[in-house]
């Protein structure tokens, strides 16, 4: 969170920058002081403190304080440690696991709940109205798209996943209002995904984008589910980003499943499970 605040400093209004500097100077104290004292210390008005929090994408001061407190008190540091060719096996194990855990904790503290809520509402409405939900991605993101399709397919949803660029564009051309397109990308710079996103939006479909904030694709959809991490995708296979994307899909699928009609969904899932037993050795 502190890195994010530092990065956003130039885009903030002068008064909001004073609040940002107050946070960076002593984040722990910021989480404990009332708004009146915060405003006095930053030499701004109380509404400016709230505006600062909302400028960074939080619901307000309470939401900002809660996530800031979690960010500064976690036992695992939010630091990405790159693996090196001379690392011992034990070093690689620790780095890979710590990088993954820190990425998950960072997402938990920084995730935009309003954006997730809008994404769930769009997916739920598409499910309830029998509309199409499509997942697209390429490379590692294509694998995540297939996993997403599997999770929503089990809920009885009319869904499919595409990792081929031609199929993505053709499929987006068939989407209409009420349908949902979920675009998954680590870099947010893939041309085929951008083309499919533009076509789907022109046809009235709702486009959900899972990618890094600040990428070209991040601004192209209707709803951004930002997945930020310090991993360099040009160096090796982006494992942390893939796991982060899978977790976001799990959050969406779980929340949608909880909001669907359990009287219909639970018997269907149980019937599916019963029929799969014949496929296993006893």
Domain that holds residue 97: 75-110
Q: CATH number of the domain at 56, please.
A: 1.10.10.10
Q: How far, in Å, CA of 38 to CA of 184, rounded? A: 39
Q: What is the pLDDT of residue 198?
A: 97
Q: How many domains does the chain have?
A: 3
Q: How many helices (H) and strands (E) does the chain have?
A: 13, 5
Instruction: Concatenate the DSSP letters of all residues of 179-215 into one string.
Output: -EEEEE-SSS--HHHHHHHHHHHHTT-EEEEEE-TTS
Q: Interhelix angle for 35-42 vs 14-25, to 10°?
A: 110
**Predicted pLDDT of residue 47:** 94
Give the residue with greater pLDDT, 248 vs 74: 248
pLDDT tens-place string over residues 50-85: 999 988 888 889 989 988 887 776 555 555 667 777
What's residue 73's pLDDT? 64
Residue 3's pLDDT band (boundaries 50, 70, 90)? confident
Q: How far apart are CA 216 and CA 219, in angstroms?
A: 6
Estimate the crossing angle of helix 89-110 against helix 239-259, to 10 degrees. 40
Task: Provide the pLDDT for residue 78.
Answer: 52
The pLDDT confidence band at residue 6, using thresholds 50, 70 and 90, is confident
Residue 118 confidence (pLDDT): 96
Task: Count the Cβ atoms, other than its own, within 10 Å of residue 37.
Answer: 12
Give the pLDDT band (50/70/90) at residue 232: low
| CATH number, position 175 | 3.40.50.10490
Domain match, 258 and 136 both: yes
Question: What are the tens digits of pLDDT across the range 91-148?
Answer: 888 888 878 888 888 888 788 899 999 999 999 999 999 999 999 999 989 999 999 9
- Name residues whose C-beta falls within 8 Å of residue 59's C-beta, 6 or more positions apart in sequence: 53, 113, 114
Place of tokens 């690392």: 87
Question: What is the pLDDT averaged over residues 226-240?
Answer: 67
- CA distances from residue 116 to 120, 248, 270 in whole angstroms, order as listed: 6, 9, 28
Final residue of a structural domain among 73, 100, 121: 73
pLDDT for 230: 66
Is residue 235's pLDDT more than 70? no
Domain assignment present for residue 277? The answer is: no
Distance CA 21, CA 3 (A): 12
**Residue 281 located in a structural domain:** no
Mean pLDDT of the chain: 88
Are 60 and 100 in the same domain?
no
Task: Between 177 and 263, name the one with better pLDDT.
Answer: 177
Encoded tokens for 177: 């209002």
What are phi and psi for residue 207, nearest 5 degrees?
A: -110, 120
């Amino acid at each position: 969170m502190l890195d994010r605040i530092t990065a956003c400093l130039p885009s903030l209004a002068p008064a909001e920058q004073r609040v940002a500097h107050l946070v960076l100077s002593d984040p722990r104290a910021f989480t404990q002081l009332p708004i009146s004292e915060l405003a006095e210390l930053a030499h701004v008005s109380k509404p400016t403190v709230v505006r600062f929090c909302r400028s960074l994408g939080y619901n307000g001061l309470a939401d900002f304080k809660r996530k800031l407190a979690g960010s500064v008190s976690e036992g695992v540091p939010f630091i990405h440690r790159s693996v090196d060719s001379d690392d011992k096996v034990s070093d690689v194990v620790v780095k890979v696991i710590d990088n993954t855990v820190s990425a998950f904790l960072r997402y938990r503290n920084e995730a935009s709940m309003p954006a997730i809520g809008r994404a769930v509402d769009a997916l739920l409405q598409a499910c309830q109205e029998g509309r199409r939900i499509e997942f697209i991605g390429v490379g590692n993101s294509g694998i995540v798209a297939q996993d997403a399709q599997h999770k929503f397919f089990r809920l009885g949803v009319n869904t499919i996943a595409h990792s081929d660029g031609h199929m993505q564009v053709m499929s987006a051309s068939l989407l209409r209002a009420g349908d949902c397109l979920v675009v998954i990308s680590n870099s947010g710079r893939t041309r085929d995904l951008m083309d499919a996103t533009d076509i789907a939006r022109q046809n009235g479909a709702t486009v959900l984008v899972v990618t890094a904030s600040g990428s070209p694709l991040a601004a192209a959809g209707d709803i951004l589910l930002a997945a930020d991490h310090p991993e360099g995708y040009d160096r090796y296979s982006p494992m942390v980003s893939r796991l982060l994307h899978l977790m976001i899909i799990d959050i969406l699928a779980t929340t949608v499943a909880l909001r669907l009609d359990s009287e219909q969904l639970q018997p269907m899932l149980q019937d599916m499970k019963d029929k799969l037993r014949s496929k296993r050795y006893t």
